[in-house]
Amino acid sequence: MAIRRNNSGFICSVLFALIMIISGVSSAIADIYVYVDQNGVRHFTNAPTSSKYRLYSKDIQRYRYTPIYSGNLNFNVNDPEIYDGLIEMASRTYGVSPKLLKAIIKVESNFNPKAKSRKEAKGLMQIMSQNFNDLNIDNPFDPYQNIMGGTKYFKQLLEKYDNHLDLALAAYNAGPAAVDKYNGIPPYQETIEYVRKVKSYYQSKAY
């Protein structure tokens, strides 16, 4: 099954999955591949017919419920591209730029779904355990839960700081209490460097 859209269209992996279910495709929802032709039209399929197609999103059901960090699946969990479908899903849900989300994940965990910091922040977006309940996370190493929860939290920070990106990023790294205390980016070298790195990836044309 293939799906075609132009640049103004709206298709994501969730819609693709729903179409397949409605069409009577049973049980497993296939991986989704995308190819952009010379006119900028994006073609989606679960059965690529040429090497021009690139992976757009892994099978959402398997991707969400299988502990991919255990090494059971035959794909590279540290490959940034396999999270594009989930990042776009979170982006559309919470209204945060997918490129910004990808930059945050790059700096936080370098796309390692089982990453854990010295302060016990966990997963792709390095979420602290005290935030799990509020963000509906019971497994921080599940990419779906982590990306959706982390995006929800970052959106809350953007709203708190009136969409001031630097302050929201600083709060994500050092905590909103520190940003409020200093009425700006805290004078912590780690936080200053964190804000710089995320913005650099976010603004990079190559990334």
Catalytic annotation on 108?
yes
> Which candidate in 81, 108, 120, 193 is catalytic?
108
DSSP 18-48: HHHHHTT--SPPPPEEEEE-TTS-EEEESS-
Q: Within 10 Å of residue 192's Cβ, how many Cβ atoms?
A: 16
Instruction: Please give the distance of CA 123 from its chain centroid, rounded to a whole number.
Output: 11
Annotated catalytic residues are 108
